[in-house]
A and B are shown apart, each in its own frame.
Chain A
Amino acid sequence: GAVVSQHPSRVICKSGTSVKIECRSLDFQATTMFWYRQFPKQSLMLMATSNEGSKATYEQGVEKDKFLINHASLTLSTLTVTSAHPEDSSFYICSAARTGRFSEAFFGQGTRLTVV
């Protein structure tokens, strides 16, 4: 199957700082990537859809100025959590859509963010 790499896998940051999470499709080009958030013992909730070369589409209730998404190339999308607060602590997972004959979305390993 296709590989999606997410980095870092864990990060601890201080309140007020910004954190960048990278999502890379290693062996295919992804015009669309997705960012999800998972609170402890809950399901994954879609935060935003990232399209290469255009602005991301955010789900209702997600602050676009707090969660900055950049999809600068067909293999890389980044999520920046700006001015992080403890309530932003969560598990963030990306997925990349591979289109074509066997279209499917592939998930990264996830990033556990802890804001102290």
Chain B
Amino acid sequence: GNSVTQMEGPVTLSEEAFLTINCTYTATGYPSLFWYVQYPGEGLQLLLKATKADDKGSNKGFEATYRKETTSFHLEKGSVQVSDSAVYFCALSDDTGGFKTIFGAGTRLFVKA
């Protein structure tokens, strides 16, 4: 079945540091890939997405490229801010499952001033 594996956290960075959160997936079909962010005590927010191979999703300085050859969708940001502290979930969804979303375990990011 489909699955998502992402790097364990927590990840602690200083402000303006470079961020990478690794994510790899296993899927039988042709999934769409997502990164969601969850701030403390809140629900999910879609951060970015990519629907096909080589697509790059980007939003608020975050980027991720859909790499079919390596089945990866790593999240990057060139300069993190304290306000980026949150939990980040990599996820996939495809039409073989009626668009149910499979989530990775989540990576908690702490950014220090």
Give the number of residue pairs across the A-B interface with Cβ within 8 Å: 53
B104 near A104: Cβ-Cβ < 8 Å: no
A32 vs B98: C-alpha distance when bound (angstroms): 7
Query: Known contacts A43-B105, A43-B106, A104-B93; is A32 also within 8 Å of B43 by CB?
Result: no
What number of B residues sit within 8 Å (CB to CB) of A? Answer: 20
Query: Which residues of A22-42 are within 8 A (CB) of B?
Result: 32, 34, 36, 41-42
> For residue A45, which residues in chain B have a CB less than 8 angstroms away from its CB?
103
A103 near B99: Cβ-Cβ < 8 Å: yes
Q: Within the complex, which residue of B89, B95, B100, B104 is in contact with A34, where a contact is CB–CB below 8 Å? A: B100
Is residue B101 contacting chain A, with contact meaning CB distance below 8 A?
A: yes
> For residue A109, which residues in chain B have a CB less than 8 angstroms away from its CB?
42-43
Min CB–CB distance B3 → chain A (angstroms): 12
Interface 1/0s, chain B 17-47, versus A by CB < 8 A? 0000000000000001000100000111010
A43 vs B36: C-alpha distance when bound (angstroms): 11
Is residue B102 contacting chain A, with contact meaning CB distance below 8 A?
A: yes
Interface 1/0s, chain B 67-84, versus A by CB < 8 A? 000000000000000000
A93 near B98: Cβ-Cβ < 8 Å: no
> For residue A103, which residues in chain B have a CB less than 8 angstroms away from its CB?
95, 99
Closest A residue by C-beta to B41: A112
A107 vs B36: C-alpha distance when bound (angstroms): 10
- What 3 A-B pairs come out closest when comparing CB atoms? A110-B43, A97-B99, A109-B43
